[in-house]
Amino acid sequence: MDTVGRNKKVIEEYIRNQIQDDIVAEQLTMMEYIDPFTGEEVKKKKRS
């Protein structure tokens, strides 16, 4: 039984899924530096 090709496909799929998960996580944590509605620079808000 040859498992070399099968393992390679499983590894490629795992890597593809990890990359997709990384892209989604990065988009969730991105900070907007320019307001997409006004086009103005976003200033950091200070917490009280």
Give the pLDDT confidence of 2-48 residue by residue, as tens digits.
Answer: 666 778 888 999 999 999 998 888 777 666 777 778 888 877 665 54
Domain presence at residue 17 = yes
Residue 45 lies in a domain: no
Residue 43 inside a domain? The answer is: no
Residues 6+ apart with CB under 8 A from 32: 42
Q: Total domain count for the chain?
A: 1
pLDDT at residue number 44 = 67
For 35, phi and psi rounded to 5 degrees?
A: -65, 120
The answer to whether the Cα torsion of 11, 16, 17, 22 is positive or negative is: positive
CA 6 vs CA 10, 17, 29: distances in Å: 6, 17, 35
pLDDT at 1: 53
* Prediction pTM value: 0.46
The parent domain of residue 22 ranges over 1-30
In a domain, 38, yes or no: no
The CA angle 40-26-7, to the nearest 5 degrees, is: 155
